[in-house]
């Protein structure tokens, strides 16, 4: 079946609205994607027909909601090809998933003098938690260097790995540059020295199939709202053995087996890491978004987005005084650039007046901007519903920006 973004767009109500009296053109998908009608309907159905706290009630609604919630866990297990559904931990998103590991894993394994390795292209969410953990445990944070084309220096990673390394935490896809990192090779390299690996998959799961068993990663984190699902929900995948060995992160509610004033016994996986009332509706919305991705076809989405990226870059290269950032051969649906003589914020503000939504600034990746000695970039990020016609409108908008600044 052929892929038709024009037909797909009809499933996204927000794409019908206007901004500043212009049709909305939404190119800020790396920040969050818009939501198809099936996801919106699933959220409404839960609150209208199934709303109940789960795992704790004997009544019908509680049983129905519990069954739906745990089926969502199985759907996600199958989607990422985890071995067990209890290796899927529900979180508020990628950031919380990373913080869970940074606290719990490091509490168990990180000692004074140890080291954690990240890369120079990480989102702040995969930098700050490790800085905090290293401060708590008197450990050291090491950084894999980046090349000018926005790719990682793999020899730099090899040089950093040693007997003091306790974890490698690397992004699968750079949110600021679009670079797809060779995470399978990174995982293999780290495992040769018995070092576990966490992958930040927030920017990967909307654009490609992820098989955690094939990757052999120890942890994989992603968010629902980056992949057409609701905000405030995400997933931490972790290998069963390592999750069992980690202490709980938060206390109360679902994470207990029994409680007395003298002792608390913790629950089994996955509940050991899911304290409190869960975000049932948004978990079900995230499951629906994943089913939407599967039905649409991740391979077809990836091929369409590659066409958009290639088309946008070719059009942009015809514009004077533009500098690109992130030119890896393996890249996702992001094009990051600036006019050399125009501040990116000014570019983004003028485009917004024309109904074109792009992201400007450091994209929560300030070290990347420091590396390139720039204040930020204009980031155009694509999703399945974007079209070449929208890129043509963007180019007209950039011509206006260029003309306004002479």
Mean pLDDT of 110-118: 98
Mean pLDDT of 86-98: 98
Euclidean distance between CA atoms 287 and 244, whole angstroms: 25
Residue of 106, 134, 221, 364 marked active site: 364
187: pLDDT strictly greater than 80: yes
Q: Output the average pLDDT for the chain.
A: 95
- Domain boundary at 294, 325, 341, which? 294
Co-location of 100 and 15 in the same domain:
no
User: Would you tell me how many other CB atoms lie within 10 Å of the CB of residue 126?
Assistant: 25
Co-location of 301 and 286 in the same domain:
no
User: Would you tell me how many other CB atoms lie within 10 Å of the CB of residue 160?
Assistant: 16
pLDDT at 58: 79
User: Would you tell me the crossing angle of helices 60-80 and 280-296 to the nearest 10 degrees?
Assistant: 40
- Domain boundary at 294, 314, 343, which? 294
Catalytic: 364?
Answer: yes
Residue 227 vs residues 35, 70, 293, 301: alpha-carbon distances, Å: 9, 20, 8, 12
Sheet holding 377-381, edge to edge: 322-325, 334-339, 377-381, 359-361
Co-location of 167 and 280 in the same domain:
yes
Determine, yes or no, domain membership for 190: yes
Q: Which of 26-40, 57-71, 206-220, 286-300 has the weakest average pLDDT?
A: 57-71
User: Contact, 238 vs 216, CB < 8 A?
Assistant: no
Under the banding of pLDDT at 50, 70 and 90, the label for residue 98 is: very high
122: pLDDT strictly greater than 70: yes
pLDDT at 3: 82
- Domain boundary at 294, 320, 336, which? 294
Q: Which of 56, 63, 42 is nearest to 282 (CA)?
A: 42
Number of structural domains, the chain? Answer: 2
Co-location of 270 and 302 in the same domain:
no
Determine, yes or no, domain membership for 404: no
Determine, yes or no, domain membership for 199: yes
Co-location of 315 and 327 in the same domain:
yes
Determine, yes or no, domain membership for 406: no
User: Contact, 49 vs 58, CB < 8 A?
Assistant: no
pLDDT at 1: 56
Under the banding of pLDDT at 50, 70 and 90, the label for residue 56 is: confident
- How wide is the angle at C-alpha 283 spanned by C-alphas 277 and 288, nearest 5°? 160
Co-location of 66 and 215 in the same domain:
yes
Co-location of 20 and 66 in the same domain:
no
Co-location of 163 and 207 in the same domain:
yes
Domain with 356 in it: 5-31+297-399
Determine, yes or no, domain membership for 126: yes
Token output for 198 = 């966490």
Mean pLDDT of 245-251: 92
193: pLDDT strictly greater than 70: yes
Under the banding of pLDDT at 50, 70 and 90, the label for residue 267 is: confident
Under the banding of pLDDT at 50, 70 and 90, the label for residue 260 is: confident
Co-location of 154 and 221 in the same domain:
yes
Under the banding of pLDDT at 50, 70 and 90, the label for residue 222 is: very high
167: pLDDT strictly greater than 80: yes
pLDDT at 320: 86
Q: Which of 120-134, 160-174, 248-262 has the weakest average pLDDT?
A: 248-262
Percent of the chain predicted with pLDDT > 70: 100
Mean pLDDT of 200-228: 98
Euclidean distance between CA atoms 17 and 87, whole angstroms: 40
User: Contact, 248 vs 89, CB < 8 A?
Assistant: no
pLDDT at 261: 85
Q: Which of 198, 240, 189, 191 is nearest to 219 (CA)?
A: 198
pLDDT at 257: 77
Greatest Cα pair distance, the chain, in angstroms, is 74
User: Would you tell me how many other CB atoms lie within 10 Å of the CB of residue 262?
Assistant: 5
């Amino acid at each position: 079946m052929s892929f038709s973004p024009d037909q797909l767009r009809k499933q996204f109500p927000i794409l019908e609205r206007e901004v500043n009296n212009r049709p909305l053109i939404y190119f800020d998908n790396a920040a969050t994607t818009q939501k198809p009608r099936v996801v919106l309907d699933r959220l409404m159905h839960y609150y209208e027909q199934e709303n109940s706290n789960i795992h704790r009630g004997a009544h019908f609604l509680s049983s129905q909601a519990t069954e739906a919630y745990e089926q969502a866990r199985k759907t996600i297990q199958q989607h990422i090809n985890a071995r067990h559904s209890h290796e899927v931990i529900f979180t508020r998103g990628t950031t919380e998933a990373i913080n869970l590991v940074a606290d719990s894993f490091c509490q168990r394994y990180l000692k004074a003098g140890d080291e954690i390795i990240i890369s120079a292209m990480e989102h702040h969410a995969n930098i700050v938690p490790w800085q905090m953990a290293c401060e708590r445990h008197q450990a050291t944070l090491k950084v894999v260097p980046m090349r000018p084309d926005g790719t990682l220096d793999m020899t730099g990673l090899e040089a950093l790995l040693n007997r003091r390394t306790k974890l490698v935490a690397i992004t699968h896809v750079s949110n600021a540059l679009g670079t797809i990192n060779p995470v399978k090779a990174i995982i293999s390299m780290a495992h040769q020295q018995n070092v576990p690996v966490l992958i930040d998959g927030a920017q990967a799961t909307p654009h490609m199939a992820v098989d955690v068993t094939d990757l052999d990663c120890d942890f994989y984190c992603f968010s629902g709202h980056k992949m057409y699902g609701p905000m405030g929900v995400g997933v931490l995948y972790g290998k069963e053995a390592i999750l069992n060995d980690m202490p709980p992160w938060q206390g109360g509610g679902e994470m207990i087996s029994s409680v007395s004033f003298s002792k608390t016994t913790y629950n089994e996986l996955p509940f050991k890491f899911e304290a409190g009332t869960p975000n049932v509706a948004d978990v079900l919305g995230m499951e629906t978004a994943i089913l939407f991705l599967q039905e649409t076809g991740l391979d077809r989405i990836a091929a369409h987005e590659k066409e958009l990226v290639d088309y946008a870059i070719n059009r942009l290269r015809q514009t004077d005084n533009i500098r690109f950032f992130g030119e890896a051969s393996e890249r996702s649906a992001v094009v990051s650039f600036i006019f050399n003589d125009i501040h990116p914020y000014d570019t983004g503000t003028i485009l917004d007046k024309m109904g074109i939504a792009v992201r400007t600034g450091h994209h929560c990746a300030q070290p990347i901007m420091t590396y390139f000695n720039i204040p930020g970039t204009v980031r155009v990020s694509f999703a399945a519903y974007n079209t070449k016609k929208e890129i043509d409108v963007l180019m007209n908008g950039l011509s206006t920006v260029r003309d306004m600044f002479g």
